[in-house]
Amino acid sequence: LHPIHSNMLLLLLAVLAAAALLAYLRHRGTDIRVRLYHGLSQLVEAYAHMHLPVAGFRRERFEWVIGAVPAESEKEVLCEDLRISSTTSVRIFRDRRLARTDAPAVLVYIHGGGFVLFHNNSAGFHRLARSFAQAAPLVVVSVEYRLAPEHVFPAGIHDVYEALQWCAFGEHPALDLCGPAGSRSLVVAGDSAGGNLASVVTLLAAHGVDANLKPVEKSPKIAHSLLIYPWIFLVPPAIDLPSRVRNRDAFILPTRHLAFFSTAYLGDAAATLAGDMRVCPAAAKSHAGLPPTTVFIASQDPLCDDAHEYVRILQDAGVPVRSLEYPAPHGFFTRPFLSASRDAFAQAIADIRRHALSAL
């Protein structure tokens, strides 16, 4: 067998063995299953983020271990997949009881995965979006954007910005609950690479330009930005950030894998893009006028200082910003069995209520 195939076989056997053990422990009612699941999820995610040459990357080798969830409505939450253009689709979540009288906001969620991995139907992101829809009066629109290396920069930005424009000015029964086009309260949220994209489209909206930096006639007005361990610095000298060295061997996201993701996303143009705010949100000429922002930081993450530096930049620009740091690894926000995840989610809902649902 090829070494990669051998590794995949071993991983499959490990997953099957762990699943059997989890079932047994669940039957016994012991909390050991939580610790075991945490270790298994770390193993799977570490394998999914392995270092490969971009030319040899095959997404299907990894995503089968993550799991995809169909767009099926449940007892309490309606779920629908919708294609809004030739390149962009969204998954919409809303509570069945949600009504216009609840004055709901629209939460635009952008998933992480290094611009390369995962989808809006990946199990962890589906579950998170559903949780947002259940926890507050929100219509959650989870964006499916084009991934690298098949679609390099700025394809993903085009898709996310198009989804943001649709949420602000488009027509759909779920959006209509949030008010007339142009007057909806918008929240933009994203984790990791999705945090980069969330930061970028928030800047585009504030500057009144589209993904090509061309002026637009109508620009979305964002009420709140939610950045979850955002990846802000994609190109050198980002490697000099202390957390890139301090957490270089982090189990879930070691520093060396960032180079693979950034190369896949930026392609041959990487060296010329350091000053482009669509790549590095910190490089924007002005951050004034950005919406109130909440930033979640993982201390055991190579991206820890990306978030700290961006918080400083926002504060210097007079943007209302609140940062919360947790002694946790990259990816903790989508693992609700961790106390850090549960607390961070509660803080996110509180800030969404404060900034986007203040009329309630």
Helix-helix angle 193-207:155-169, to 10 degrees: 60
CA distance 152 to 159: 12
DSSP 3-state assignment of 61?
A: helix
99: left (phi over 0), alpha (psi -120 to 50) or beta: beta
User: Cis before residue 237, ω within 30 degrees of 0?
Assistant: yes
Element (H, E) at 160: helix 155-169
151 catalytic residue (yes or no): no
> Three-class SS string for 109-134?
EECCCCCCCCCCCEHHHHHHHHHHHH
103 and 357 Cβ atoms separated by less than 8 Å: yes
301 catalytic residue (yes or no): yes
Identified catalytic residue from 41, 122, 142, 192? 192
CA distance 47 to 43: 6
Identified catalytic residue from 219, 330, 351, 355? 330
Identified catalytic residue from 95, 159, 191, 301? 301
111 catalytic residue (yes or no): no
CA distance 273 to 315: 24
Cα-trace Rg, the chain: 20
Catalytic residue set: 192, 301, 330
